[in-house]
Structure 1
Amino acid sequence: MTIAVNTTPQKRRKSGVPAYLIYETLNGRPLYRRGYRDVLSGKKKPAEIIGSSSLQAMLVSLIHGFLFMHIDRKRYLLATNESGIHLDKGNNLSNDIAIFDKAIGLVLTDKYFSVPPKVAIEIDVRIEPEEFEGKESGYVYAKTERLLDFGVETVIWIITYPQKIFVATRTSPWLTQNWDATVPVLDDVTLNLAALLTEEDIKF
């Protein structure tokens, strides 16, 4: 199925907070990148907090490569690089990996996606958790619920410490398991992160 591309000039964002320090907005609230205070105080440069760790980058690359080889790419579009999702006013989220159904009439633009992916995959928490009620787990649950309400069918979180994988859907109980669990992703595609890492000779 063909996907159209339509680009238009972007307007400059007006904000009192540097845009590069805002990771997402959730329920109208800006969520700042982990470590942003050190940037504001001059202790760190923006590049020191914006990039992924080597472990996070490897996991995104490995999972993306696995899915690229196994999903039906005639039917689905696979996106990565913190792809933005515009849910509504005050809700702009990002996904480390997202799988979209091409049948919904995707149009690629220079703005965020405005339709829900079928599957959203996240690697770790990238916001400053100390400022969120419930800290990391509170953020994970709040973002997951918002994505599911938007129409995402499956949300998968890969947590590097401790090594856990959390899967949430709209129709089944939410489950937290170890990395050696085999979890469904899409159609008949499943993911076993431990087996994938072992295949790549990566110790964990």
Structure 2
Amino acid sequence: MIASPTPGRDIPENALEESIPNSLIREIIDGKPYYYKGYREVLAGNMNEDGIMGCCTIQTFIITYLVRILFRSVDESKYLIATNEPGLHINRRNNLASDIMVFDYDILTIDQINLNYAQVPPAVCIEVDTRVELNDAAESEYVTLKTMKLLEFGVGKVIWFFTKTKKVMIATPGNWTTFDWNNEVLLMPNALCNVGQHLRSRGFKFA
């Protein structure tokens, strides 16, 4: 599949992909479409598209917490804090999305803000869980591949929060680390979070 910088204009390379609506594709990596989790239920008529594209409540809770910290800590005259699954067009075979992207306005200039996906690297990409149907592929393989694509494109930092394992992975060029989410994480300069501590403070027992 050839990825277009314009949302919803991906070009399938075979008839099988043509049978699946482009709206069910969350990402394209190396020409391979990755569909939203639950897309088969949509194809079977058991669920509508909106039912698989939203976050679950714990993901929403964590993303809201992270966004609030960023808005309180980051200079909005210098950075765009992008949410609502911002898209990133790397090249004709790669369209990626994240829960949160933070762009430097020196890189994503005002004249580049339009109806297309961003085509320059954000300073930071943040994900809470994987949101794609992986079929037989291991989650770790997808996470590694996507993270590598982002870093190779020039993203400064990629941060993953995993709700099932209660882990955080932070990847920067040449340095990947994974640790318990009860530790502080530096999202951006002056923007510290501690997801485990925050969840416990709000009454979550599993944090």
Identify whether the pair has TM-score above 0.5, normalized to the shorter chain.
Answer: yes
Structure 1 counterpart of 2:15: none
Structure 1 counterpart of 2:71: 68
Q: Alignment partner of 2:85: what SS?
A: strand
Q: Does 1:19 align with 2:22?
A: yes
Matches within 5 A, 1:167-182: 167-172=170-175, 174-182=176-184
How many residues of Structure 1 are paired with residues of Structure 2 in the alignment?
Answer: 193
Matches within 5 A, 1:119-138: 119-132=124-137, 135-138=138-141
Structure 2 counterpart of 1:192: 194
Structure 2 counterpart of 1:5: none
Which of the two has greater strand per residue? 1
Compared CA separation, residues 10 and 136, structure 1 to 2 (3 A): closer
Gaps of at least 5 residues in structure 2 are 1-5, 13-17
Q: Distance in 1 between matches of 2:159 and 2:7?
A: 31
Matched residue type, 1:196: H
Matched residue type, 2:41: D
- State TM-score, norm by structure 1: 0.86
Matched residue type, 1:69: R
Q: Does 1:141 align with 2:114?
A: no
1:59 CA drift (Å): 1.2
Q: Distance in 2 between matches of 1:10 and 1:22?
A: 10
Aligned match for 1:30, one of 28, 33, 37: 33
Q: What are the superposed Cα offsets for residues 171-203 of structure 1, whole Å, 9 maximum, x if unpaired?
A: 32x111111111222224322212333444544
Compared CA separation, residues 191 and 12, structure 1 to 2 (3 A): closer
Compared CA separation, residues 118 and 90, structure 1 to 2 (3 A): same
Matches within 5 A, 1:96-107: 96-106=99-109, 107=112
Q: Alignment partner of 2:89: what SS?
A: strand
Matched residue type, 1:130: N
Native 8 Å contact 2:108 2:120 kept in 1: no
Q: What are the superposed Cα offsets for residues 22-73 of structure 1, whole Å, 9 maximum, x if unpaired?
A: 1110011111111111221223322221211111111111110111101122
Compared CA separation, residues 69 and 44, structure 1 to 2 (3 A): same
Q: Distance in 1 between matches of 2:183 and 2:174?
A: 20
Matches within 5 A, 1:88-99: 88-99=91-102
Native 8 Å contact 2:74 2:191 kept in 1: yes
Structure 2 counterpart of 1:3: none
- State TM-score, norm by structure 2: 0.85
Matched residue type, 1:118: A
Structure 1 counterpart of 2:113: 108
Q: Distance in 2 between matches of 1:11 and 1:97?
A: 20
